[in-house]
Structure 1
């Protein structure tokens, strides 16, 4: 299982790392991993925000239906 994770990170570093114009390859790899981590945090935050909005709208709708 760990070889698959290493393969995934290796492919991320290879594909995204080439877009960073850094002189050292190790810094380019670290920058690509940092961007991948930040992207995942952004997706997670967006998911939880949308989930929170959906749940709060559902609760408000149910309360309105009960009061009606």
Structure 2
């Protein structure tokens, strides 16, 4: 009986640890992904799409510094 409780606790711990690793990987992916906005989104946010300049970034407004795609 005691072995079953220990085994159940070990399985539950492993399952929770797996969820923690998956959550951390998801958070890292979401933060590391580059952000793109459309020229119209850049304008709606109060910025100016600098499409002809190197990097094609939105200048000013809500999306300042984000790449225009």
TM-score w.r.t. length of structure 1: 0.52
- Aligned equivalent of 1:67: 58
**C-alpha distance in 2 between matches for 1:50 and 1:67:** 24
Higher-helix-fraction structure: 1
| CA RMSD, Structure 1 to Structure 2 (Å) | 2.5
User: How many Å apart are 1:31 and its aligned residue?
Assistant: 0.1
Q: Tell me the TM-score normalised to structure 2 length.
A: 0.52
**Equivalent residue of 1:67, what SS?**
strand
Partner in structure 2 of residue 54 of structure 1:
32
Structure 1 gaps of 5+ residues are 1-22
Quick check: which one's strand share is greater? 2
Displacement over 6 Å in runs of 4+: none
Per-residue deviation at 1:35?
A: 0.4
What is the CA deviation profile of residues 10-60 of structure 1, one whole-angstrom value per residue up to 9, with x for unaligned ones?
Answer: xxxxxxxxxxxxx701000000000000000000000000001011xx116
